[in-house]
Every structure is written in structure tokens, then in C-alpha cells.
Amino acid sequence: MPQRPLHPRSLAAQAMGKIDPLTRGVVPPIHVSTTYIRDPDNAYSSGFVYGRPDNETVREAESVLAMLEEAPAGALLFGSGMAAATAVFQALSPGDHVVASKVMYWALRAWLLTEATRWGLKIDFVETDDLDALRAAVKPGVTRLVWAETPSNPLWTITDIAAAAEIAHAAGAKLAVDSTCASPVHTRPLTLGADIVMHAATKVLNGHSDVVAGALCAREDDAFWNGIKTVRKMQGGILGPFEAYLLMRGMRTLHLRQERQAASAMALAQRLSAHPLVARVLYPGLPQHPGHDIAARQMQNGFGYMLSVQVTGGEKAAIASAAQVELYKRATSLGGVESLIEHRASIEGEGSPCPTDLLRLSTGIEDVEDLYADLDQALTFGHR
């Protein structure tokens, strides 16, 4: 009788259950060799040739992520989220047209505005949560890639992945989704029609703020996916084995962390919505959020760990409030077990779509009452 299929939570908790054949250890070892012995006939029966394109520890971490994302074609790990994201664009050809989210990770937007044009790519930015605008921007037979970030950082707008996939595919384009701020616990874009899903694995996939990594997962093992593999291989963008080991360790507790973080983020969003010093809370879990209905349809186990607040006193009060936190940490990045706060407009600089009165909050695993009390006192002192 076949065994009942295991839940992804169980598979991730045991890193797919692989046992080290040498020691019988339940924790996979770290494979650090950069070169491998050839067979007498000069072949490589082990399947490994050199450390730049391949590594066993990296493969094991990729298998966990591919399982979580339900990615039939597998996953690829990179040395950073930017390395993963840019590899997708570098697999395109000069002259290709791309449509990308107007609200997205600021460093990638900056790269697309500068470096991508040197690759000969033509980029149009639109609000991908506006399907009419997306449909108007996509050019049948010309657009090769639609890049959507959802929830989008730091305004947390929601793109309808299934609808965006339909628009992209009708035009002959691929849909890639940056799902960093959702994670496979909440959204699995490939099951909704996306072709590629990207993660800054530095964030919640690792969850401990001690690894810089990026990841891509694919629905089809086609020419485009193989082109991305070639980019990683030839440019040496693979993640190191020690970082892959730490990332795999982080993914073993992903479900526990994400469910706690999402529950706390929802509780904070609800309470802050009634705070007299908060003008607006941006969080897709709130019924008044413009993308709430779509988020409720395509997200599970909560609405993610990220939210933003716009304070009543404007930019000055926002910066002053961030300066008063005691439990939250004033730092960039997101997704770790520690809660972070940041005034994004001053970080992103000129051209940022981020309102100047906005504070971005990454919710960790601390006690939610402590988190709210810290924000309450910080807002109070920041408005004096």
C-alpha cells in the first residue's frame, strides 16, 4: 500500500529526509570540494565536474526549495537575490521587450533602468496590479518577459498572478514572479500559471539574517530555463556550499516561522489601523486593502510578514519614530526572526515611489504584544 503523501512542512523539516550514507547522520554534510576525480575512461560517473557550475550541498538545498514551490523543472541557487533576478534578464536577447512592476525592489529597478539597457533590453514599468495597464503595456510577439513582484515592496500591492500569466502567455511572453515577500508557505506562483519564481533567499527562506542568497524555480525545463542555467554556469553565480547548508537549515523551520510572523503581522496591522498617530496601514490582509480579495484567493496560511505604516506627522515624524524603537531594529533587509523597521524613502532616494511618511516593518517571531508596545511608544515620542 503506498504511503500517504507527506505535507511540505514535514519534508522541509527533515530536509527531504536524506541520511548521510557514510555516518548515518540526520543532518546533511557540507560538500566543499571544488574538483572531482575522473573515471579511467575520462568520464565523470559521479555527475560532478567542477565547483563553479555544481555542488552536492547546493543541489540538496535546491531540492527542498523545488519541493516547497512545486517546481517541476527544479530550482537554482545564486550568490544573491540580485544575481538570481538579473540572470533571468540576462537570459533574454538584445532588443527583447520586458514589462516590469513599477513598485518593486529598488535595487533591481535601478539595475533595469541602467545596466539592463546596456544589454539592449527595452523596459516598460507599469502597475502590474492594474490588469488593464498590464494588458496595454504587453506587446504581442514583441514582449518576451513580464516581471511582477507581489506583494510589492514596500507598498504591498497585489498582482493577480493567474490573470498576469494569461496576459503574458497570450502575447508569447514568460511570467516571472518575485515572491520574496510571500514565500512558498503563502503563495506558489508556478501553480497559478507563472513560469519562473524568484526569491531573495537572504530573507525569509533563510530567516536568520546570516546568509546572502538568491533562488529561481521553474515550471518547465525549456530553452529559457536552460539559458538561465547557462548564465549561472558561465558567470559563476552559484551559491557557496556553506551558505547553501545554512539556507537549508533555515528552510527546515520555514513553516513555523512564517505562520507565526504572518499571524503577528496581521495582529499589528489591525491594531495599528486604529492608532491615532497612524494615517494608513498597508497590508494585504486588511479588508480595506485594494488587493485584499486577490490576496485572499492566491495566498494561504496568512498574508505575509511585511507591512508598512504611514504616520500622521509626515516624513519628520516617521524618521523620529524609527529613531525611538527599542525592540525593533533599525536596519535594512527583511524576513529574519528579528523585527526590523526602516524609513524606505530616504534609503531608496530620488525616483522612489515610496511615500516619505512611510515606515516599512518586517515582522519577526518576538511576542506580538512587545512589538506593538514598542511601536506605540516610538510613535508617541516621535511625534513630540
pLDDT of residue 119: 83
Type of residue at 59: R
Is the whole-model pTM more than 0.85?
yes
Is residue 178 among the annotated active site residues? yes
Mark whether 222 is an active-site residue. no
Selected catalytic residue, list 96, 129, 178, 195: 178
Give 126's strand partners: 101
> Among positive and negative, which fits the CA dihedral 137, 214, 293, 271?
negative
pLDDT, residue 1, reads 42
Residue 174 annotated in active site: no
The answer to whether the CB of 110 falls within 8 A of the CB of 139 is: no
Catalytic residue among 109, 203, 257, 260: 203
Taking the alpha carbons of 157, 160, 165, 167 in that order, is the dihedral positive or negative?
Answer: negative
Q: What separation, in Å, do the N-terminal and C-terminal C-alpha atoms of the chain show?
A: 69
CATH of 8-251, one of 3.40.50.2300, 3.20.20.140, 1.10.260.40, 3.40.640.10: 3.40.640.10
Q: Which residue from 97, 95, 96, 77 is spatially nearest to 87, judged by alpha carbons?
A: 77
> Of the listed 18, 52, 271, 280, which one is catalytic?
52
Give the H/E segment covering residue 358: strand 358-362
* Neighbouring-strand partners of residue 311: 278
The residues of the chain scoring below 50 in pLDDT are 1
pLDDT for residue 350: 81
Respond yes or no on whether the N-terminal peptide bond of residue 284 is cis (omega within 30° of 0).
no
Q: In what order do the strands lie in the sheet with 122-126?
A: 74-78, 214-218, 196-199, 174-178, 143-149, 97-101, 122-126
User: How confident is the model at residue 2, as a pLDDT?
Assistant: 53
pLDDT tens digits, 166-189: 999 999 999 999 999 999 999 999
Kind of pairing between the strands at 196-199 and 340-342: unpaired
Q: What is the CATH number of domain 255-382?
A: 3.90.1150.10
**Is 41 labeled as catalytic in the residue annotation?**
no
Q: Where are the domains of the chain?
A: 8-251, 255-382
